[in-house]
Structure 1
Amino acid sequence: MRSRPICLLFIVALWLCQPNCVHAQEENTLIVKSSRYINFKIKSLNKLNVRLERQQKRLLKRLTRREQRFAAKLKQNDSAAYDRYRHQRLSYDSIQKLSLPDSAMLAKTAARRNTSIDSLKAIRSFIQNKSSALNTNRQLPTTDPKLSQLQSQLNYRNYINELITQRTNNLQGIAGGSSIPAFTGIQKQVYYAKQKMNVFKEMEEEPSKAEDKAMEYLQGTEGFDKYMDEATAGPNSMQNLGPNATAADLQKMGLQTKQQVQAALQQRFGSNLSGLSQKMGDQIKSFQDKTQNINTAKQSLQSLRQLKHINRPSFKINPMRGLPFWKRIEKQYNFQTTRATIDGAPAILQLSAMAGYRQSPKLSYGIGVVEATGLGQSWTDLRLSFQGVGLRSYTAWQWQYGIGAYAGYERLYKQAAFSNTINPDQTVTTSPHSSNTYSESILVGLTKNYRINDKWNGAIQLLYDIWWQQKGMPSPIVLRFSTISK
């Protein structure tokens, strides 16, 4: 009888302690998940900063050399333009010296906002408020020096990019209508380098699986989305602007004001903007008069197509050049089989792995290795045997609809090259392209690609072996099946 009251008291005690345990567990999990997410993002942003810094160093080194060639050509062709060039203070060489900042230079760009850093700071503040609401003493530090340091570094990378753009626009204004190949080279270097930087940023924005899980947990926490919206908006958001807001308030938010636009125009076209404004006004008025006379959909479509090409570069764009080197490497795996021959050679299965370099969206070339396994003479006489290993090289050009041309050179080192023994059942015909130790091939033909999934394409290759008779092959046709990474 006495045991029942004791059990009831024990159950009541457990029930009273349960909320505290739940809150403690929730708080601990929340801090662990948020700390993991912040660490992932800090590591990713740090990698992004290193890549951007390395890319800018390479770019500025190349631009400095090209600017010297540009100045030499400009001196020969246009002395007046060369005189304007000499009186400009900013150059790629001076920007290159600024690419390694000290603490004072980093402090100048520290006030600029950065979306990624602001979101991490907002998560940290959210955890602080959540921990306070749970009445616990275990909290994250109020500030993280790594976040502030990363914000200054990433903002400075953007500042260097702005200086590069400004210098390129200045040179374009000096060159005018002169066709100087050195300036075209400068445009190409700047364009493709910025494309690579954009790829680096996209790679940073792609979260890992662990990062996804941590963020998924945080988004499921009550009040997280609302707090993030308020915290990332900051004190300078549009919703916090009063009726007496000034241009300085808009500049703090990162918005472009009339004063900034005028300063940018002065950097590009000089201090005298009255003639430019008049000319732009005349062009706008002329454009408005012309658009009033457009009455058909065909004419409107033609005008839109012309406007679409206004901001395109003057050179032909190769999208592959805007990718980092490892993004231009394609992996390829293929297999093929050959029938047994009357001279005793078995049916052979060849498995190959190759790595190619995408020169352009249509052209790629590469090298690889191949392994040959003997399968026997027939289905009733299956015998696996080592037949050799070899090397391959290829060039592929895609036309359209997945159809393309293929050409390659291959050399297979036979079993005798490794064991110094010859199969007595096999008659070997010695020729310049087939001997006891090796055989070589030149293959040309067509390839048809098809989609497998988002990461891989398949291909069927129908090839012709030029030296098939000298190797005693029953047919010159080679059929291969490939899997190619995108």
Structure 2
Amino acid sequence: MKNLTTILIVVCCYLFTGWCQTLHAQARHSWNERADQLIELPDKLLGKVGQQAAKAEKRLQQQSQKYLARIKKQEKRLYAALYKKDSAQAKALFGNIDSIYAQMEQATAELAQNSGPRQHYYQGRLDSVQTSLRFLAQEQLPGVQAKLPKQLPSALDSYNQLQNQLTQSTYLEQQLLERRQQLLQQLSNSGLGKQLQAYQQQVQYYQQQLRQAKELLEQPDKLARQLLAYATKLPLFRSFMEKHSAFAAIFPQPDPIVSLTTPGSMQTRSALQSQMGSTLGTANPQAALQQGMGQAEEQLQSLKDKLSAGSFGDAGEMPTTKTNEEKTRSLWKRLEWGGNLQSARATNFFPTTSDLGLSLGYKLNSKSVVGVGASYKLGWGSDWRNVRMTHEGVGLRSFLDWRLKGSFWVSGGAELNHRQRIEDLGLLKEPGNWQQSALIGITRKFKVGKMKTDARLLYDFLWRQQVPRTQPVVFRVGYTIK
């Protein structure tokens, strides 16, 4: 009997040892698989992700500094104008403007640096990429840390700096609005309407460029999608995202205080209050909630009052003065590359032709575009039995589009056209070979799929002066490349 017991114990130990070895091998395989997935992350991808974030942070910083300097300049002009009327009031109201703005920048920078995820400016794509980089950087796998991409720390640092810059700019926007409100209240009857309007415009331009920077970050990004695709392959990424992302900090998932097997699977009132107290950091969560509701009602009423008074700005406000939406965009964003096509049937003097045009427009504001262009006239012959491609002329164009209403625009332009067949480039040097056109008409701009399209119906006031005469009405179909 004792021998049988000994044999059973030996067999169980042998089976248990084999089971442990199998689990250890599976765990080692899982670790090695995760390590290989991390090491496969392209260093070049991380470098581009980091460079992209660094460029966005630098651009936002430069734009903020530029418009902040303009606001300060306008405020100094306000001070000078008020000083001529009442020097004592000017000194008491404005103080040392340079010192005030320097303290404002320093305070918002420290606030952004020391604030937690709940106080940071939140943007979904930024949070996802930032959390992915932190997850990859904090992975403690045996022998992996030394093999991780070298660009990972710098990419994470670039995104952290971008986050801080966005937060600082948002805090700075709030302080600028508070200072603007203070100055408007004190100077409402000072007779400085023109200077106040210029000052308010600069504050709104600061808000406008900040809003455009945030909108740019919300656009789909190929590099960010690739990085997230790599991160989501790792088994622990989802749980890390649920615990350590900024979204998780703002909306933390509740801990299972009570068992779900209780009747109705509902938490008790005491358990709910205990959880709310730990989340809100107070021993009396009910009083804190009532106080918060009161503050929310006061803020809501304040927003209603500002809306009815028409004194809102971009941070939840309606503009108090008119601003140019395009002024805060970069030169590249204000350019519009386009092309257009115009065809004419054969006449006694010309074969069937197609005008191929290229244009470059510059958006002055949301209602007007000015630009230049060039065209090439391609001849096709007189009919289907006589198809022959020839160079029938070239042209230089200038145009101005002004929005009339909705998708309809008033268009005008001046053109120089060389309408003689080009058999020798020397013909282009003769001024007498160029003919003038003065065009004006209606343009409708619309979208066909993802392509921006425009149809132009123009009248040439100089068509009678052409030799030989051309058609007075010009119809063109164009496409905007960017």
Give distance in 2, aligned partners of 1:38 and 1:137: 16
Could you tell me whether the CA contact under 8 Å between 2:427 and 2:433 is conserved in 1? no
Q: 1:92 to 1:355 in 2, by over 3 A?
A: farther
For residue 29 of structure 1, the aligned residue among 24, 37, 45 is 37
Task: Point out where structure 2 has 5 or more consecutive residues left out of the alignment.
Answer: 1-23, 255-274, 283-290
Could you tell me whether the CA contact under 8 Å between 2:132 and 2:228 is conserved in 1? no
Match of 2:60 in 1: 52
Could you tell me whether the CA contact under 8 Å between 2:209 and 2:328 is conserved in 1? yes
Give distance in 2, aligned partners of 1:419 and 1:236: 70
Q: 1:148 to 1:339 in 2, by over 3 A?
A: closer
Match of 1:195 in 2: 208
Give distance in 2, aligned partners of 1:421 and 1:369: 17
Query: Shift in Å at residue 176 of structure 1?
Result: 2.9
Q: Which string of whole-angstrom CA distances, capped at 9 and with x for unpartnered residues, describes residues 239-273 of structure 1?
A: 5988377889xxxxxxxx99xx9xxxxxxxxxxxx
Query: Shift in Å at residue 354 of structure 1?
Result: 0.8
Give distance in 2, aligned partners of 1:418 and 1:131: 74
Query: Shift in Å at residue 137 of structure 1?
Result: 6.3
2:277 is the counterpart of 1:243:
yes
Give distance in 2, aligned partners of 1:84 and 1:231: 47
Segment drifting more, 352-361 vs 120-129: 120-129
Q: How many pairs were matched up?
A: 408
Give distance in 2, aligned partners of 1:191 and 1:120: 30
Q: 1:97 to 1:350 in 2, by over 3 A?
A: farther
Normalised by the size of structure 2, how large is the TM-score?
A: 0.69
2:348 is the counterpart of 1:363:
no
Could you tell me whether the CA contact under 8 Å between 2:53 and 2:162 is conserved in 1? no
Query: Shift in Å at residue 210 of structure 1?
Result: 3.7
Could you tell me whether the CA contact under 8 Å between 1:27 and 1:131 is conserved in 2? no
2:113 is the counterpart of 1:110:
yes
Query: Shift in Å at residue 352 of structure 1?
Result: 0.8
Could you tell me whether the CA contact under 8 Å between 1:60 and 1:92 is conserved in 2? no
Could you tell me whether the CA contact under 8 Å between 1:34 and 1:214 is conserved in 2? no
Could you tell me whether the CA contact under 8 Å between 1:365 and 1:395 is conserved in 2? yes
Match of 1:168 in 2: 180
Question: Aligned partner of 2:325: which letter?
Answer: P
Q: Which string of whole-angstrom CA distances, capped at 9 and with x for unpartnered residues, describes residues 85-107 of structure 1?
A: 35x24x257536986x8xx9966
Query: Shift in Å at residue 333 of structure 1?
Result: 0.9
Could you tell me whether the CA contact under 8 Å between 2:402 and 2:411 is conserved in 1? yes
Query: Shift in Å at residue 409 of structure 1?
Result: 0.5
Could you tell me whether the CA contact under 8 Å between 1:81 and 1:175 is conserved in 2? no
Could you tell me whether the CA contact under 8 Å between 1:57 and 1:96 is conserved in 2? no
Match of 1:326 in 2: 332
2:472 is the counterpart of 1:463:
no
* Equivalences for residues 371-450 of structure 1 within 5 A: 371-413=376-418, 419-420=425-426, 436-450=432-446
Give distance in 1, aligned partners of 2:335 and 2:198: 25
Question: Aligned partner of 2:401: which letter?
Answer: A
Q: Which string of whole-angstrom CA distances, capped at 9 and with x for unpartnered residues, describes residues 174-231 of structure 1?
A: 3234452112112112212321222223323434324313313423443322211201
Query: In structure 1, the residue corresponding to 2:136 is in which secondary structure?
Result: helix
Give distance in 2, aligned partners of 1:129 and 1:146: 14
Segment drifting more, 439-448 vs 220-229: 220-229
Match of 1:351 in 2: 356
Query: In structure 2, the residue corresponding to 1:313 is in which secondary structure?
Result: coil
Could you tell me whether the CA contact under 8 Å between 1:447 and 1:460 is conserved in 2? yes
Q: Which string of whole-angstrom CA distances, capped at 9 and with x for unpartnered residues, describes residues 92-136 of structure 1?
A: 57536986x8xx99667422345577655643453367663x886
RMSD: 4.5
Give distance in 2, aligned partners of 1:304 and 1:65: 27
Give distance in 2, aligned partners of 1:84 and 1:172: 15
Could you tell me whether the CA contact under 8 Å between 2:457 and 2:473 is conserved in 1? yes
Q: Percent sequence identity over matched residues?
A: 22
Could you tell me whether the CA contact under 8 Å between 1:66 and 1:182 is conserved in 2? yes
Could you tell me whether the CA contact under 8 Å between 1:328 and 1:358 is conserved in 2? yes
Could you tell me whether the CA contact under 8 Å between 1:397 and 1:406 is conserved in 2? yes
Q: 1:125 to 1:419 in 2, by over 3 A?
A: closer
Give distance in 1, aligned partners of 2:43 and 2:130: 12
Query: Shift in Å at residue 47 of structure 1?
Result: 1.0
Segment drifting more, 180-189 vs 163-172: 163-172
Question: Aligned partner of 2:277: which letter?
Answer: P
Could you tell me whether the CA contact under 8 Å between 2:50 and 2:158 is conserved in 1? no
Could you tell me whether the CA contact under 8 Å between 1:192 and 1:322 is conserved in 2? yes
* Equivalences for residues 145-294 of structure 1 within 5 A: 147-148=156-157, 151=160, 155=164, 157-158=168-169, 160-178=172-190, 179-233=192-246, 239=252, 243=277
Q: 1:53 to 1:75 in 2, by over 3 A?
A: same
Give distance in 1, aligned partners of 2:306 and 2:65: 39
* Equivalences for residues 93-132 of structure 1 within 5 A: 95=101, 109-113=112-116, 114=120, 122-127=131-136, 132=141
Could you tell me whether the CA contact under 8 Å between 2:129 and 2:224 is conserved in 1? no
Query: In structure 2, the residue corresponding to 1:46 is in which secondary structure?
Result: helix
